[in-house]
Structure 1
Amino acid sequence: MTVADIDLVLSAPVNLRDLGGIPIAGGELREGVAIRTDDLAYVTTEVAAQLVAAGLTAVIDLRSPLEVSVTGRGPLADYPVAYHHLPLIADVGRSMGEGATELSHDAMGRMYLRMVEVAAPQLVTALNVIAHTPGVAAFHCAAGRDRTGVLAAMLLLALGAADDDIVADYARTGDNMVAIMQRTAPVMGAMWKALGFDASAASATSSLLEGSMDVSMRTLLDTLRAQHGDPLGPLRAAGLSDATIGRLRERALAR
């Protein structure tokens, strides 16, 4: 599967937001540190230029190798922006075969836990990128919901944010889900087809557009605390240092 197989149209992100304003230890996370978003690989040239003009210096791409191979980096590849490919799910086809097709809020929370435990090294690297890039770091997956939500949660935990505020940020994506699904449909539909999955059948049995998104993130945070004590435990075991956390907090609060 290549981009030639997809009716891909460049478009503006529909789930992009600066994490600035969220309460953290010592104050509020300032704007201009971290942006979470849906796929940046097919933003318009205008959006790419605007992001760079606003201070973007690093992109953290959390998508799988297959997803990246289809779309590449897009218009942002034309700018001197550091690119870090840190897949939180290495093989999307295998993850679907292991039961990720149970598209419920509770099931997603359990998947997030596996993501944190298995992809802890990638998450640690991502936090180091955010800590040390000189400008704005943007991180994304496809929808900007699941993999992106996990990294956002780990960042906010490192910054000393309360669980309620982490959940509230995650849940903001709920209002954007219809637009997200419309924007990502060409790429995701083609990918599921190439992997032998019926995307329409999965959507028909999904309950992700119903109820509260809070459940998924609550499940992740509560289970991390129950199983590891420190919710950053898996990341600390993978090399997350106090120095990195200190640097993150310094950047987040500095004006």
Structure 2
Amino acid sequence: MTTTAFDAPATTIPAPALTLSAPVNLRDLGGIPVAQGVIRPGFAIRADDLSTVTEEVADALVGDGLRTVIDLRSADEVALTGRGPLGARTTVNYHHVPFLTTVADGAEEIDLAQPNFAGMYRRMFAGAAPQIVTALAIIAHAPGAIAFHCAAGQDRTGVLAASLLLALGADDAEIVADYARTGDNSAAIHERLAPTMQPLMAKFGFDLDAAARAAMATGFSPAPMQGLLAWLGEQAEDRLALLRAAGLSDALIARLRERAGTA
């Protein structure tokens, strides 16, 4: 692994010496069945933190067609690690679309056990609906492959992945199955993000190791995504209603389906 350091962050957290590594929760959404077929490979990729990938991973992603990165992390997270090696690839466009103002947004209401994250997902979906629509518009119109990520590639990334799959007409089972695949990577995710996220979480009074222990004690559950989807159905017959109110149009949905190769 390669160790490097980026520009000093605009935060009170000292800049860590970053150990660059390969993502452990990256996957292409290609092959998932949706309303009018299956998503084509190379359309959309979901991932854990792409700011700390190695030079070799950055080259491989660009070589495979990556042209756009949507960063869902907070400003504090971005200040710590910057864009990393992908930031030096001039063919890759970068969009910062934070779903949370800080990683502590609403954290006082969060049970550290992952099976109980449904409430957090509901609040995120409702509070970040304009950002979700912005991210979907980027996915719809950006050239080449699009990757979107947060830190773990689980919660913020999971909400955006679910929103995209809903817009493409995937059924609940497929959305939940995609979310649940993160469970196999939980231990590796914690090991990879702990060096940067532990001091940032501590700044806000939260212990990342305690969260990891709680998650491992309960095991990874599909319940949070199932809860989000059920709640959306309770809000309106059209589960995209909150996003439509925030600007999601039929034309944008049609463009997404065209880009996904399903129109």
State which of 82, 85, 88 in structure 2 corresponds to 1:75.
Answer: 85
1:119 equivalent to 2:132? Answer: no
The answer to whether structure 1 residue 152 and structure 2 residue 152 are counterparts is no
| Residue in structure 2 matching 1:229, options 223, 237, 250 | 237
Structure 1 residue 208 displacement after superposition: 5.8
Q: Is the 8 A contact 2:70 2:148 kept in 1?
A: yes
What TM-score results when the alignment is normalised by the length of structure 1?
Answer: 0.93
Aligned residues: 252
1:243 aligns with 2:251: yes
For residue 57 of structure 1, give the secondary structure of its aligned residue in structure 2. strand
Structure-2 change in CA distance of 1:210 and 1:133 (3 Å):
same
Q: How many angstroms does 1:88 deviate by? A: 0.8
1:181 aligned residue (169, 187, 190) = 190
TM-score (norm. length: structure 2): 0.91
Q: Give the helix-richer structure, 1 or 2.
A: 1
| Structure 1 Cα separation of the partners of residues 239 and 42 of structure 2 | 26
Question: Following the alignment from structure 1 to structure 2, what is the Cα–Cα distance between the partners of residues 41 and 23?
Answer: 30
Task: Say if 1:236 and 1:209 are closer, same or farther in 2 by CA, change over 3 A.
Answer: farther
Cα distance in 1 for residues equivalent to 2:163 and 2:250: 14
CA distance in 2, matches of 1:62, 1:113: 17
User: Does the Cα contact within 8 Å between 1:109 and 1:216 map onto a contact in 2?
Assistant: yes
Q: Report if the CA contact (8 A) 2:116-2:223 is conserved.
A: no
Q: What SS does the corresponding residue of 2:189 show, helix, strand or coil?
A: helix
C-alpha displacement of 1:10: 0.4
AA at the equivalent of 1:35:
I
Question: Secondary structure of 2:146's partner?
Answer: strand
Q: Which runs of 5+ in 1 are unaligned?
A: none
- Shift of the 239–178 alpha-carbon distance from structure 1 to 2, 3 Å rule, reads same
* CA deviation string 1:50-85 (max 9, x = no partner): 111111111000001110111110011111211111
Counterpart AA for 1:221? L
**Alignment correspondent of 1:137:** 146
Q: Distance in 1 between matches of 2:81 and 2:156?
A: 18
Tell me, in whole angstroms, the C-alpha distance in 2 between the residues paired with 1:209 and 1:45.
35
Which residue of structure 2 aligns with residue 33 of structure 1? 43
Identity in percent: 56
Whether 2:199 is the aligned partner of 1:190: answer: yes
CA distance in 2, matches of 1:254, 1:223: 27
Deviation by residue 1:172-220 (Cα, 9 ceiling, x = unmatched): 000000000000010111101222333334444x246524521010000
Aligned partners of 2:216 and 2:142: how far apart in 1?
Answer: 34
1:85 to 77, 92, 96: 96
- Would the aligned equivalents of 2:36 and 2:262 in 1 still touch at CA under 8 Å? no
Pairwise mapping of residues 8-47 of structure 1 onto structure 2 (< 5 A)?
A: 8-47=18-57
| Residue 49 (1) aligns with residue 59 (2) | yes
Decide whether the 8 Å contact of 1:17 with 1:36 is kept in 2: yes
In the TM superposition, residue 3 of structure 1 has moved relative to its aligned partner by 7.7
Task: Give the partner amino acid of 2:75.
Answer: P
In structure 1, the partner of 2:175 is: 166
- Pair 1:31–1:92, CA change in 2 (3 A): same
Cα distance between partner residues in 1 of 2:170 and 2:25: 21
The reply on whether 1:252 has 2:252 as its aligned counterpart is: no
CA distance 1:199–1:211, change in 2 (3 Å): closer
